[in-house]
Amino acid sequence: MTAVPDRVHLQLSVNGEPAPVSFSSYKTLLEVLREDLDLTGTKHGCELGECGACTVLIDGEPVLSCLVLALECEGKRIETIEGLARGAELHPLQAAFTDLGGSQCGYCTPGVIMTAKALLDRNPDVSREEIKAATAGNLCRCTGYLQIADAIERAAADMRDERRRSERKS
Partner 1 sequence: MKKSRLEVVGKARRRVDGRAKVTGHLKFADDLSAPRMLHCKLLRSPHPHALVESIDTSKAAQHPGVHLVLTRKDFPVPFGIMPVSIDEFPLTDHARHVGDPVAAVIAVDEQTADEALRLVQVRFSPLKTISDPEDALKNPEPRIHDYGEQGNIHRNQSYEFGDVEDALAKSDHVFEDLFFYQGNTHLPMEEQATLALVEGDGKLLVQSSTQNPHYLHRQLARVLQVPAAKVRVIGTPNGGGFGGKCDPANHEMVVAKAALVLGRPVKIGLTREEVFYQHRGRHPVLMKMRTGVTRDGKLTGMHLQTLLDGGGYGSHGPASTFYTGVLTPVTYELPRFKFDACRTFTNKPACGPKRGHGTPQPRFGQEVQLDKIAEKLGRDPAELRLGIVNKPDSLTSNWLRIGSIGLAECIREVVSRSDWKSRHKKLGFGKGIGLACSSYMCGAGLPIYWNKLPHSGVQLLLDRSGQVTVFCGATEIGQGSDDVLASIVAEVLGIDTGMVRCVTGDTGITPVDLGSYSSRVTIMMGNAAMEAAEKVRLQLAEAAAEQLETLPEGLVFSQGQVFHAGDTKKSISFVEAVAFAEAKFGTLGSVGSYTPPKPPGKYKGAGVGPSPAYSFTACVVETEVDPKTGWIHVPKIWIAHDIGRTINPVLAKGQVIGSVYMGLSEALMEEQAFRRLPEKLSQALVHKMPSMLEYKSLTSLDMPEVDVALIEDPDPNCPFGAKEVGQGPLLPVMPALANAIYDAVGVRIDEIPVTPDKVLKALELKSKGLAPRVGPEHFPSVPYPEPIFVVTPQEGGDGKETKKEEKKRAAAAVV
By CB under 8 A, the count of residues binding partner 1 is: 58
Interacting span for partner 1 (CB under 8 A) from 3-11, 68-76, 145-153, 159-167: 145-153
Q: Which of 116, 148, 156, 159 binds partner 1 (CB under 8 A)?
A: 148
Q: Check the CA dihedral 144-145-146-151 and report its sign.
A: positive
Asked if 67 is part of the footprint of partner 1 (rule: CB under 8 A), the reply reads: no
Residues 104-123 that bind partner 1 (CB under 8 A): 104-110, 113
CA dihedral 133, 139, 143, 148 (to 10 degrees): -40
In contact, 79 and 89? CB cutoff 8 Å: no
Residue 168 exposure: Cα atoms within 13 Å on the Cβ side: 6
Beta-strand relationship, 17-24 and 61-64: unpaired
- Judged by beta carbon, residue 113 or residue 120, the one nearer partner 1 is 113
Interacting span for partner 1 (CB under 8 A) from 37-45, 71-79, 117-125, 160-168: 37-45
Q: Where are the alpha helices (DSSP H) in the chain?
A: 29-31, 92-99, 109-122, 128-134, 146-169
Closest approach of Cβ 124 to partner 1, in Å?
18
- Using CB under 8 A, list all residues that contact partner 1: 24, 26, 34-35, 39-48, 50-51, 53, 80-82, 84-85, 90, 93-95, 97-101, 103-110, 113, 131-133, 135-149
